[in-house]
């Protein structure tokens, strides 16, 4: 990390006074250093093994390499932050930060360092530069977010995890199509609650210190389209991919904030051809999949999403004349299973298992048997119903609370009731069993 921090700091300081040609070279230096370190620690073994495997397929007997490389914690996240900083300085969106300690704080700020959200300099460096005044509102808001995150992690995600682990240990040939659907939904719920829990804890921890992070999740499973989903899921990452990968590849104007996710990509202006946009789309999603892990299952996950988005762009104009309510309900009914099915290669052990599980879904004869324990199916149904109920209640409560003051008795009573339930459950289930899923990325 220290190498990339120093290089990017020196590069950014030099850029404003350099010619355009020198700026290009400085930017290239930053990208080579950052991506080179990421490649060495995260992908060298993967691509070496892939190359050796291909060589063996074509008859060349190559012995496998023995390499032991320890993956630095959070390297994917802070690499993205250092790249975005240098690129933003190059684009003229921000001025270089000359205080090295302040810039170092931006890259190494601990609450989100190991799993996001992916921060941008324009969002946090100005907050670091201004001394924050103590605020009880920051303390209370931060503690509530941390508690909420702990609840999602230890009470919900960690109790779904054993069902997911047991299910994916089953031989694929013994699974039914309903088993595949159930596992896809259960893992979708697990990774959502697990990762959104970390995001809540990160946002809450930062808020305790008076620092506000952008939101990272917004009920993704009530999305009405793939575009809507990626405006709600891991918003900071999908926004980063949009602005520093997809839009530049497609030749379209970029954004400067971690908002909107990939949902805003089609709203940006530009004269890029449709062919170029689709080519950029597939490249972006393949890279985004590989970013999540050095395994071809993640690349398959990315390609799946790119195909889904292309189909959506083709079909979307046909639905414009539908009634709004019909579009919302129909969109949710169609989008939810499509997005859940994407989690199969994300969790599967290998490509063969992922493909075989997908084939089960499209085999009518595979729907007649249930191979898992009954509680797995019940858990999937219960969690799905709870998500919709929570979303509905939250929207209703917002309308009610908007007409009240924060100190009103009903608001206080509601908060006391919620936290009186959550705190004992967190204490009961709090145990060091499962780390956060995104720690591996």
391: confidence class by pLDDT, cuts 50, 70, 90: confident
* Residue 389: predicted pLDDT: 86
Q: Residue 256: which of 378, 128, 142, 120 has the closest Cα?
A: 120
pLDDT tens-place string over residues 27-56:
999 999 999 999 988 888 888 888 887 877
Alpha-carbon distance of 421 to 3, in angstroms, equals: 47
Q: What percentage of residues in the chain have a pLDDT greater than 70? A: 88
186: confidence class by pLDDT, cuts 50, 70, 90: very high
Exactly one of 200, 234, 292, 305 is catalytic; name it: 292
pLDDT tens-place string over residues 274-302:
788 888 889 999 999 988 888 899 999 99
Cβ-based neighbour number of residue 365 at 10 Å: 9
pLDDT tens-place string over residues 422-436:
889 988 888 766 777
CA distances from 395 to 185, 261, 402 (A): 24, 22, 11
pTM of the predicted structure, to 2 decimals: 0.88
**Following DSSP, what letter does each residue of 12-44 receive, concatenated?**
HHHGGGS-HHHHHHHHHHHHHHHHHHHIIIIIH
* Residue 250: predicted pLDDT: 81
pLDDT tens-place string over residues 303-330:
999 999 999 888 877 777 665 666 677 6
* Residue 196: predicted pLDDT: 92
Q: Considering the chain, what is the average pLDDT of its residues?
A: 84
How much is the average pLDDT of 242-247?
89
Residue with tokens 């300099």: 121
Contacts of residue 243, Cβ cutoff 8 Å, sequence gap at least 6: 84, 254, 255, 256
How much is the average pLDDT of 203-229?
91
* Residue 411: predicted pLDDT: 63
| 292 is an active site residue | yes
* Residue 184: predicted pLDDT: 95
Contacts of residue 37, Cβ cutoff 8 Å, sequence gap at least 6: 3, 4, 75, 79
pLDDT tens-place string over residues 246-275:
888 887 777 667 777 766 665 444 455 678
How is residue 82 written in tokens? 């250092």
Cβ-based neighbour number of residue 257 at 10 Å: 13
439: confidence class by pLDDT, cuts 50, 70, 90: low
Q: Which of 51-60, 136-145, 227-236, 384-393 has the lowest mean pLDDT?
A: 51-60
Q: What is the DSSP letter of 368?
A: S
- Listed in sequence order, the DSSP H helices in 316-373 are 324-341, 343-347, 351-361
pLDDT over 90 at 180, yes or no? yes
347: confidence class by pLDDT, cuts 50, 70, 90: very high
Phi-psi region of 210 (alpha: psi -120 to 50; beta: other; left: phi over 0): left
* Residue 436: predicted pLDDT: 73
Given a contact cutoff of 8 angstroms between Cβ atoms, the answer to whether 60 and 99 are in contact is: no
Q: What is the DSSP letter of 402?
A: T
* Residue 402: predicted pLDDT: 53
pLDDT over 70 at 115, yes or no? yes
pLDDT over 80 at 185, yes or no? yes
* Residue 109: predicted pLDDT: 87
pLDDT over 60 at 405, yes or no? no
Alpha-carbon distance of 381 to 85, in angstroms, equals: 43
The residue with greater pLDDT, 64 or 351, is 351
* Residue 396: predicted pLDDT: 65
pLDDT over 80 at 5, yes or no? yes
Asked if residue 238 has a cis previous peptide bond (ω within 30° of 0), the answer is: no
* Residue 206: predicted pLDDT: 93
pLDDT tens-place string over residues 12-32:
888 988 888 999 999 999 999
417: confidence class by pLDDT, cuts 50, 70, 90: confident
Alpha-carbon distance of 226 to 233, in angstroms, equals: 10
């Amino acid at each position: 990390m220290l190498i990339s921090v120093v290089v990017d700091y020196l590069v950014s300081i030099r850029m404003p006074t350099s010619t355009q040609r020198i700026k290009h070279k400085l930017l290239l230096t930053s990208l080579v250093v950052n991506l080179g370190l990421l490649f060495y620690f995260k992908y060298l073994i993967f691509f070496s093994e892939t190359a050796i495997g291909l060589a063996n397929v074509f008859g060349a007997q190559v012995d496998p390499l023995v390499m032991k490389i320890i993956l630095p914690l959070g390297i994917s996240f802070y690499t993205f932050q250092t790249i975005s900083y240098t690129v933003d300085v190059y684009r003229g969106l921000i001025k270089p930060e000359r205080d090295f300690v302040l810039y170092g704080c931006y890259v190494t700020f601990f609450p989100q360092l190991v799993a996001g959200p992916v921060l941008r300099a324009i969002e946090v460096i100005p907050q670091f530069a201004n001394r924050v005044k103590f605020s009880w509102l920051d303390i209370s808001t931060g503690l509530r977010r941390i508690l909420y995150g702990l609840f999602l992690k230890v009470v919900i995600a960690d109790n779904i995890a054993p069902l997911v682990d047991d299910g994916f240990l089953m031989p694929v040939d013994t699974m039914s199509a309903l088993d595949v659907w159930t596992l896809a939904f259960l893992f979708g719920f697990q990774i959502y609650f697990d990762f959104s829990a970390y995001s809540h804890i990160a946002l809450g921890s930062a808020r305790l210190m008076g620092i506000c992070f952008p939101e990272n999740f917004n009920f993704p499973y009530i999305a009405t389209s793939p575009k809507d989903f990626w405006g709600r899921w891991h918003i900071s990452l999908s926004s980063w991919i949009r602005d520093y990968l997809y839009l530049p590849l497609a030749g379209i104007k970029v954004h400067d904030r971690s908002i909107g996710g990939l949902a805003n990509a089609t709203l940006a202006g530009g004269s890029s051809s449709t062919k170029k946009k689709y080519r950029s789309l597939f490249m972006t999603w393949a890279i985004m999949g590989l970013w999540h892990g050095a395994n071809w299952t993640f690349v398959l996950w990315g390609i799946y999403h790119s195909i889904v988005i292309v189909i959506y762009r083709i079909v979307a104009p046909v639905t414009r004349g539908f009634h709004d309510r019909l579009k919302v309900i129909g969109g949710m009914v169609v989008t939810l299973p499509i997005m859940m099915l994407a989690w199969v290669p994300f969790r599967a052990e290998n490509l063969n298992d992922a493909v075989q599980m997908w084939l089960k879904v499209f085999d009518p004869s595979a729907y007649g048997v249930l191979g898992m324990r009954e509680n797995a199916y019940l858990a999937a149904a219960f969690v799905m119903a709870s998500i919709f109920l929570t979303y509905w209640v939250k929207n209703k409560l917002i309308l009610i609370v908007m007409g009240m003051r924060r100190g009103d008795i009903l608001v206080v009573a509601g908060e006391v009731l919620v936290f009186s339930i959550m705190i004992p459950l967190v204490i009961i289930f709090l145990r060091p069993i499962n780390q956060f899923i995104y720690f591996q990325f």
